């Protein structure tokens, strides 16, 4: 049976579903705001931040015109396990730039920059990520044309006749398919989550298993295909269940290595929900192993990332693993 992590706040017998959707205002300035009071408040919030306390203010994330109130500091606090040095230097979080919340043009406050999710909601964006997201239709057309040219070059280089009938539209088709395979670069985590965070004092394990994943290996640009299992133990917020596969999809539609994909999904959920813990396990078959190199057609690769209570408590971790059936050899 899933077990609660904390002894306090026992779940009510009939859990009340409270969709905490009211918007709280974050603009606190009033007409009689004296500069002294503001200074005092600044000092206090700075102190809170330094001590790792959540801010008193709620962060309002704009999602398709609706406002959802997230827990304070939903995006701006770091966890111990995340702050550990990453094994892969590319997974190293970017240096903290600006801790201040930035006001969006419509007056709402966007999530603060964080090591996992940046201030525009993109996760670990590169320069190209932003360029692609913010491009005009003309720039998009130019990008597609460059990609078609590149595919034509590839076809010529493998010894094909690019003008034969079967290949005439291949550069166009492949370029568009490639943009689709990598559409995760154009998505941000706020759009994906779309405000589906609900206050709910449920502290049992929640698992969504057998999430289909297809991604491209960044070393060979060939697919790896498999299943992901995601589990978490909420603290006081739960996420709409369909959002877990969507978060996994967003990261899988970028060039990946399986190890990083697993970690990014776990870290993003940790960052958004601040749960007691997150566990992500992924099993997949890599076509770069099956079609080339060692030619292992049946080998599968399993990666996992456990954070919070799943990392600390082997009992919780084992319960998750047995529930998703990873320990069982299939």
Contacting residue, 53, 220, 312, 313, with Zn ion by CB under 5 A: 220
The yes-or-no answer on residue 217 being catalytic is yes
The nearest distance, CB 90 to Zn ion, in angstroms, is 15
Let me know if 190 is exposed, middle or buried by CB neighbors in 10 A (0-12, 13-18, 19+): buried
User: Are the CB atoms for 233 and 206 separated by under 8 Å?
Assistant: yes
The nearest distance, CB 288 to Zn ion, in angstroms, is 3
Contacting residue, 255, 288, 290, 323, with Zn ion by CB under 5 A: 288
Let me know if 295 is exposed, middle or buried by CB neighbors in 10 A (0-12, 13-18, 19+): exposed
- Take residue 281 and report the two structure tokens written for it: 């396990």
Span near Zn ion by CB under 5 A; candidates 70-78, 99-107, 246-254, 285-293: 285-293
Span near Zn ion by CB under 5 A; candidates 80-88, 93-101, 181-189, 287-295: 287-295
Contacting residue, 219, 240, 242, 297, with Zn ion by CB under 5 A: 219
Q: Is 292 in the site for Zn ion (CB under 5 A)?
A: no
The nearest distance, CB 216 to Zn ion, in angstroms, is 9
The yes-or-no answer on residue 229 being catalytic is no
Which residue from 268, 205, 278, 202 is spatially nearest to 235, judged by alpha carbons? 202
- Strands 206-217, 197-199: pairing is unpaired
Span near Zn ion by CB under 5 A; candidates 83-91, 101-109, 219-227, 235-243: 219-227
187, 256, 286, 311: the catalytic one is: 286
b/e map 312-325, b = 16+ CB within 10 Å: bbeebbebbbebbe
131, 145, 219, 296: the catalytic one is: 219
Span near Zn ion by CB under 5 A; candidates 161-169, 183-191, 284-292, 320-328: 284-292
The nearest distance, CB 261 to Zn ion, in angstroms, is 13
The nearest distance, CB 286 to Zn ion, in angstroms, is 6
19, 134, 218, 296: the catalytic one is: 218
The yes-or-no answer on residue 19 being catalytic is no
Count of chain residues binding Zn ion (CB under 5 A): 4
Angle (CA) 18-112-127 rounded to 5° is 125
Which value, to the nearest 10 degrees, does the dihedral of the CA atoms of residues 61, 64, 68, 70 take? -40
The yes-or-no answer on residue 271 being catalytic is no
Q: Which residue is nearest to Zn ion (CB)?
A: 288
Q: Is 217 in the site for Zn ion (CB under 5 A)?
A: yes
User: Are the CB atoms for 268 and 212 separated by under 8 Å?
Assistant: no
User: Are the CB atoms for 263 and 75 separated by under 8 Å?
Assistant: no
The nearest distance, CB 285 to Zn ion, in angstroms, is 11
Strands (E), the chain: 60-63, 66-69, 197-199, 206-217, 223-233, 237-239, 255-256, 277-286, 301-308
Q: Is 133 in the site for Zn ion (CB under 5 A)?
A: no
67, 199, 220, 259: the catalytic one is: 220
Distance of alpha carbon 314 from alpha carbon 1, whole angstroms? 15
Active-site positions? 217-220, 258, 286, 288
Contact residues: Zn ion, CB under 5 A = 217, 219-220, 288
């Amino acid at each position: 049976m899933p077990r609660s992590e904390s002894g306090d706040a026992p779940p009510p017998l009939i859990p009340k579903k409270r969709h905490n959707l009211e918007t709280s205002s974050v603009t606190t300035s009033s007409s009689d705001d004296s500069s002294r009071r503001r200074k005092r408040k600044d000092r206090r919030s700075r102190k809170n931040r330094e001590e790792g306390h959540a801010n008193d203010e709620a962060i309002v994330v704009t999602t398709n015109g609706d406002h959802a109130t997230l827990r304070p500091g939903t995006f701006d606090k770091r966890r111990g396990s995340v702050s550990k040095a990453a094994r892969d230097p590319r997974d190293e979080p970017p240096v903290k730039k600006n801790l201040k919340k930035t006001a969006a043009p419509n007056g709402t406050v966007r999530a603060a920059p964080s090591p996992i999710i940046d201030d525009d909601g993109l996760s670990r964006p590169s320069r190209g990520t932003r360029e692609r997201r913010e491009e005009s239709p003309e720039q998009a057309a130019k990008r597609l044309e460059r990609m078609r040219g590149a595919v034509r070059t590839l076809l010529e280089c493998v010894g094909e006749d690019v003008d034969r009938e079967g290949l005439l539209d291949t550069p166009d088709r492949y370029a568009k398919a490639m943009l689709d395979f990598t559409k995760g670069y154009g998505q941000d985590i706020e759009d994906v989550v779309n405000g589906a965070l609900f206050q709910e004092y449920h502290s049992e394990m929640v698992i969504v298993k057998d999430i289909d994943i297809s991604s491209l290996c960044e070393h060979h640009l060939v697919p790896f295909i498999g299943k992901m299992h995601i589990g978490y133990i909420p603290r006081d917020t739960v996420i709409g269940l369909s959002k877990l596969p969507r978060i996994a999809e967003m990261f899988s539609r970028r060039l990946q290595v399986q190890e990083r994909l697993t970690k990014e999904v776990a870290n993003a959920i940790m960052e958004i929900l601040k749960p007691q813990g997150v566990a992500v396990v992924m099993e997949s078959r890599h076509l770069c192993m099956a079609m080339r190199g060692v030619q292992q057609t049946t080998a599968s690769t399993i990666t996992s990332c456990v954070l919070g209570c799943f990392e600390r408590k082997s009992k919780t971790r084992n319960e998750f693993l047995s529930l998703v059936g990873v320990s069982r050899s299939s």
